Structure 1
């Protein structure tokens, strides 16, 4: 059973991280959809705006309430986020509320923060609304994926990408529903590692698939990461309880390597030094996911 303090902290951190991830998924889908599917573009844009509203409310309630480790991990926002959003908005024409990023960059942790019952009530309201909104996002992604798989539409979006962001939405929904039952979002570390290792492997796939054919070295590096994560997933699926510390250390090492690769890639997209069918916000997005995963892994090891 989560204490009031843990319920508030966990809820805020979940919504700050995944709320941004969800709204960026809508941006990525908007970029990839064609004018013939303008109704889907408008639907995705409305979902994006709804998440931006929840994010702004969550940020206002988060000042002082979240852990210093979360702020330092750069999972909510990185030094590259604002620049990535500006360039992506300029190049795609899609509106991105950069006030969210500016406010997140100002967030601080206060060890003497007062976790009141009124704050708990307001967080409960945000969680309930976030659950309803994620369910809408899941339906939207499922609709687009079904059309793509049945060849009833064309989009500049990999089917695996839609499946990937659909799984992330379902993961967020499960975590929120668990928190609303006053339990930890995810308890099984190996289950969590398999989920995030798969996400990291698929990031390597997407990087590989979006690079210009002339970017041979980057292609080979991305391909190598996908194979190494594949091997790690296999070992994790076969692991016993006593193997967890060793497997977790391997996951930290490999995820740190791909995180550094993503930093270089995002900087390269910002500086127009990499030829790819990608924009900086996509790079910053997958960088933040690696940052969160590294923090979760280190946090687990520290507690065991």
Structure 2
């Protein structure tokens, strides 16, 4: 159990600290030139999470569990602070105190939800109180389906309007994932009666198909942006960022499938 705790903790911190670092950059790029205080705060968070990411990469599965537990507490504190910063920025935008800035309110809410998810994961790991599998399957999918729906909306709004086919595809994914989210919320409201293996297995299979399609769309968009073959205001790192989050969701889905049914998971099928 000690090795599993260390391994799972490091996986979470390595993935999400990089995400938090990149959030700091994206927020910074969306501020106005005169928002120097907010820009400075974003830069500080970038440095904090870059340091956390680097430290996480120095640990191994053989690191003492108590060392990792203390590290998790430090990271939890950093995640809590960036969550407060993101909610502050959201408040300023919704109160019309940052006119002309380029951070969508939904994007700021989105990144704050991910910060809250990250800190909750760290707290659960340190307390050893992970959700039962049926609850985890539903709750994780509700969370990530909303994240995927948001991504599609961001892509649609950041593509140049003249990229009509890509905008149409992004809007299609937005609608598809909204519907999947509604279905997941219905399954959630039917708990515990809905938590049968056949229903949860079908739930995972259906979501996997859609996430793979979205992941492939994101990969295509990322590659086109890197090659300067489409018109958009999407930062190349943002394109890669949303692609990696889709990959992460697929890994989670297949891990759940393995735990639920005992089917072996081949990560090569994901990548």
Q: TM-score, normalised by structure 2?
A: 0.89
* Structure 2 residue corresponding to 1:41, chosen from 36, 39, 42: 39
Residue 155 (structure 2) aligned to one of 194, 202, 207: 207
**Which residue of structure 1 aligns with residue 25 of structure 2?**
27
Alpha-carbon RMSD: 1.2
Q: Which has the higher contact order (CA 8 A, sep 6+)?
A: 1
Q: 1:192 to 1:284 in 2, by over 3 A?
A: same
Structure 2 distance, partners of 1:186, 1:130, is 25
1:185 Cα deviation after fit: 7.0
Decide which of 5, 8, 14 is 1:7's aligned counterpart: 5
Query: 1-side partners of 2:131 and 2:230: how far apart?
Result: 38
Q: Which residue of 2 aligns with 1:241?
A: 195
- Residue matched to 1:134: 79
Number of the residue aligned with 2:191? none
1:99 aligned residue: none
Equivalent of 1:255 in 203, 211, 220: 211
Partner of 1:68: none
Give the total of aligned pairs. Answer: 249
Kindly indicate whether the alpha-carbon contact (under 8 Å) linking 1:179 and 1:185 is maintained by their aligned counterparts in 2: no
Which 10-residue stretch deviates more, 127-136 or 235-244?
Answer: 235-244
| 8 Å CA contact 1:263, 1:287 repeated in 2 | yes
**Runs of 5+ in structure 2 lacking a partner?**
188-193, 261-271
- Mapped to 2, the partners of 1:174 and 1:186 lie a distance apart of 15
Is residue 138–residue 166 contact of structure 1 (8 Å, CA) maintained in 2?
yes
Runs of 4+ in 1 over 4 A off after TM superposition: none
- Note the alpha carbon deviations across 1:170-193, whole angstroms, 9 max, x for none: 011111111110233785211110
Supply the distance in 2 between the matched residues of 1:184 and 1:276 (Cα, whole angstroms).
41
Match of 2:59 among 54, 58, 61: 61
CA distance in 1, matches of 2:89, 2:181: 28
- CA contact under 8 A between 1:175 and 1:185: conserved in structure 2? no
**Is residue 191 of structure 1 aligned with residue 147 of structure 2?**
no
Question: How far apart, CA to CA, are the structure 2 residues paired with 1:274 and 1:126?
Answer: 42
Residues 205 and 251 (structure 1), Cα distance of their counterparts in 2 relative to 1, 3 Å cut? same
Distance 2:33 2:173 in 1: 35
Identify the residue that residue 168 of structure 1 maps to in structure 2.
114
1:175–1:186 CA contact under 8 A, matched in 2: no
Q: Residues 37-66 of structure 1, C-alpha deviation per residue, up to 9 Å, x if partnerless?
A: 11110111011101111111100114xx3x
Q: How far, CA to CA, are the matches of 2:81 and 2:131 in structure 1?
A: 20
- Which digits, 9 at most, give the CA deviation of each residue in 1:178-232, with x for residues without a partner? 1110233785211110110010001000000001010000000000001111111
**Structure 1: runs of 5+ lacking an equivalent:** 66-114
> 2:91 matched to 1:143?
no
Displacement of 1:237: 1.8
